[in-house]
Amino acid sequence: MEKIDQIISSETIIMSTLSTFTSHQLSDLTLYFSSLHNRYRRRILSLLSSPTLFSLTLRYVHSLSLHKKSLLIAKHLLSKLAIFIHFMHNDTIMPPSSTTSMKHRDLDAVLLLLLLCEIRQHDPDALNLPPSRWRLVICQYIAKDALKFSSISCSNREIIMKFIELLAKCKNFINAMTHTGDSIGEKDMKEVATSVMIVVALPSIEASDNGEDTKECVICKEDMKKGRDVCKLPCHHTFHWICILPWLKKRNTCPCCRFQLPSDDVFVEIRRLWEVVAKMNDSAKFVKEFC
């Protein structure tokens, strides 16, 4: 019952957030994920049509530790969350490819792993056969159109539902693997460094005699003197470069408001992006209640 509640909770949050999308945003997301879904379908069909490729991929999956399996699924989820938030904010710049792409071998392993988990969920005894028979089991499972890989086309609603199911499935897989309940990365509440790529891209501004730039740097407690270059975080708080750099090497939060910057820790990033989605979900609920 608890696992069902987790899945419902995840899907409800995503669906509620989607209710805030404009028709243009939904159309763009549908188009993108339709292309992505077709790519994944082709990867699965390629695996199943080649006994050698299937055997190699299955062997690779078996060679991975539990943590590495969780990490692969986490990277897959992170890429989808990054894309989801991209369309949620109607950004003109897509997330970096390092966030949204995976090696073919890793992608095949993720798709096979998720598919095996889904089969076991539908029929706990289906995979009790020797691994050499699993390809046949998967082929029979897909032949029943359970995953609709064989469908020629899907409606926009079906595409969106597939996207929601994928996010929820990955999230709950990670929760189960890491024993974090319904809060991804709860065990990762430790401090982590800000992503180096983000630090390098931070803007440098010149302190002036008026405006907010004259405030003191909260790290060293000294005023920002006119003409001195200072760093501006996305939350608009400013600091001396010499002060903020050591801070960002250890933490991914603003010293003033605790605004979270991207990090290179996959699980922490999932938690950060999931909080962005959850906040949008809370905003949607507020609007529905009071408007």
Check pLDDT > 90 for residue 170: no
Question: Within this chain, do residues 285 and 226 fall inside the same structural domain, yes or no?
Answer: no
Give the angle 142-146-150 at the CA atoms, nearest 5°. 55
- Hey, which of 149-153, 155-159, 219-223, 241-245 has the most confident mean pLDDT? 241-245
Give the angle 180-182-187 at the CA atoms, nearest 5°. 30
Question: Within this chain, do residues 163 and 230 fall inside the same structural domain, yes or no?
Answer: no
With respect to residue 282, please indicate whether it lies within any of the assigned structural domains: yes
Question: Within this chain, do residues 173 and 223 fall inside the same structural domain, yes or no?
Answer: no
With respect to residue 133, please indicate whether it lies within any of the assigned structural domains: yes
Q: How far is CA 74 from the centre of its chain?
A: 7
Least confident interval from 106-115, 149-158, 166-175, 200-209: 149-158
- Hey, which of 97-101, 206-210, 218-222 has the most confident mean pLDDT? 218-222
Question: Within this chain, do residues 143 and 236 fall inside the same structural domain, yes or no?
Answer: no
Q: How far is Cα 20 from Cα 10, in angstroms, rounded to an integer?
A: 16
With respect to residue 189, please indicate whether it lies within any of the assigned structural domains: no
Q: How far is Cα 80 from Cα 214, in angstroms, rounded to an integer?
A: 40
**Whole-number average pLDDT of the chain:** 79
Question: Within this chain, do residues 143 and 30 fall inside the same structural domain, yes or no?
Answer: yes
Question: Within this chain, do residues 200 and 179 fall inside the same structural domain, yes or no?
Answer: no
With respect to residue 10, please indicate whether it lies within any of the assigned structural domains: yes
Percent of the chain, pLDDT > 90?
18
Q: How far is Cα 70 from Cα 179, in angstroms, rounded to an integer?
A: 11
Is the separation of the CB atoms in 184 and 202 below 8 Å? no
Query: Per residue in 252-280, pLDDT tens?
Result: 999 998 898 988 888 888 888 888 887 77
Question: Within this chain, do residues 79 and 99 fall inside the same structural domain, yes or no?
Answer: yes
With cut-offs at 50, 70 and 90, classify the pLDDT of residue 290. very low
So what's the pLDDT on residue 283?
55
Number of domains in the chain: 2
With cut-offs at 50, 70 and 90, classify the pLDDT of residue 59. very high
Question: Within this chain, do residues 67 and 202 fall inside the same structural domain, yes or no?
Answer: no
So what's the pLDDT on residue 174?
76
Question: Within this chain, do residues 161 and 231 fall inside the same structural domain, yes or no?
Answer: no
* Alpha carbon distances (Å) from 217 to 175, 196, 238, 245, 256: 39, 22, 7, 13, 10
Question: Within this chain, do residues 243 and 167 fall inside the same structural domain, yes or no?
Answer: no
Is the separation of the CB atoms in 207 and 266 below 8 Å? no
With respect to residue 127, please indicate whether it lies within any of the assigned structural domains: yes
With respect to residue 141, please indicate whether it lies within any of the assigned structural domains: yes
Check pLDDT > 80 for residue 169: no
So what's the pLDDT on residue 105?
92
So what's the pLDDT on residue 62?
93
Q: What are phi and psi of 171, to 5 degrees?
A: -60, -45
With respect to residue 12, please indicate whether it lies within any of the assigned structural domains: yes
Question: Within this chain, do residues 135 and 163 fall inside the same structural domain, yes or no?
Answer: yes
With respect to residue 146, please indicate whether it lies within any of the assigned structural domains: yes
At 207, which CATH number?
3.30.40.10
Q: Which domain holds residue 147?
A: 2-184+266-290
Question: Within this chain, do residues 229 and 175 fall inside the same structural domain, yes or no?
Answer: no
Q: What is the mean pLDDT of residues 227-245?
A: 87
